[in-house]
Amino acid sequence: MKKRPTYFTQLNSLAIVGTFFSLWLAVFFDDDVENMLAYFLILTFGMLHGANDIKLIQYSRHTAQSTFPFLKVLASYILVVLFGLALFYFLPTLAFIFFLVVSGYHFGEQHWVSKLKPSSIWASLFFCSYGLFVLFLLFYQHVDTVSEVILKLTNVNTQSIHFYYMVLLTGISSLFLFVVLKIRKELSAHIIKELFFLAIFFVVFNTASLLWSFAIYFILWHSLPSIADQITFLYGKPNKHSIIKYLKSSLLYWILAALSSAMLLYIFRDDMELALSFFIAFLAAITFPHVFVISRLNKN
């Protein structure tokens, strides 16, 4: 169980303040403006947190000075992205379920990895259960829009009751696994603090639009802590010098990913649900290798 430096506590404080500021903005803007802000944040900070994956793989293998490993890693990374896109094209329902599970694990891992022993199978189950609970909590609060997106993406009809049961199932399983990890003395966390965070998420999901809700959680509670983790792994600790180095090494991949996503959103700008469907498919394709990279980083 690794202990995070004090600046991660400052990130939590920043996330709380930023969350309530974002909710304050939601009072003054309609959904269209919120969606534009959400896309901007996802294409900038959101994409940025996954833009250094290849360097992270190289660094973890201690081969950063070799050209051949870089090309090998790059080719493998591109193949996984293409596989993800192909999966969504030929088997969209299976791909979407896989994307949900992988994303749930990734969100849960980022939130809890510093608070428990990640090598335990119980920890892995807890990561997945907690992350899925947060996602289904979001979906349940915006069930109509989410159902439309899923229908266009997979041609499967979903109803409010389905999301209700998934919130219930993942909530109960998360609580059970939390207790198991506490009994096994593998978890170090303050239950009141964690419940407070969940209460914040509930207020956000219940108040803001779907995209703005997701952007608030994804950027403030996931991407920024992940970037801080990566900078710490690569350069020792976040400061002006290390942040500039991180941005420079991320720039090319970041621009390519952001431009590709922006093109998709522009092409389907007149149909938000369809735009979201393609956006999700693209995000899923680049998420699959990213989750593997971050899990490897955490194990190292």
Q: What does the H/E/C string look like for 247-258?
A: HHHHHHHHHHHH
The pLDDT value recorded for residue 20 is: 94
Average pLDDT over residues 234-250: 88
Identity of the residue numbered 113: V
Q: Is 143 part of any domain?
A: yes
CA–CA separation, 64 and 61 (whole Å): 8
Model confidence pTM above 0.85? yes
Q: Is 2 part of any domain?
A: no
CA–CA separation, 175 and 69 (whole Å): 42
Average pLDDT over residues 105-118: 88
The pLDDT value recorded for residue 64 is: 45
Which ranges constitute the DSSP H helices of the chain? 7-28, 31-41, 47-48, 53-61, 67-90, 92-112, 121-141, 143-154, 160-183, 191-207, 210-216, 224-235, 240-267, 272-299
Give 191-205 pLDDT, tens digit per residue.
899 999 999 999 999
Averaged pLDDT score across all residues of the chain: 86
What is the span of the domain harbouring residue 34?
7-299
Per-residue CA distances from 22 to 15, 44, 70, 226 (Å): 10, 17, 39, 20
Q: Is 177 part of any domain?
A: yes
**Nearest one of 252, 253, 234, 255 to 243, comparing CA atoms:** 234
Q: Is 202 part of any domain?
A: yes
Counting the structural domains of the chain, the total is 1
Residue 36 in tokens: 């534009």
Q: Is 11 part of any domain?
A: yes
Q: Is 1 part of any domain?
A: no
Average pLDDT over residues 162-168: 95
Average pLDDT over residues 129-148: 95
Higher pLDDT, 212 or 293: 212
Q: Is the pLDDT of residue 151 over 80?
A: yes
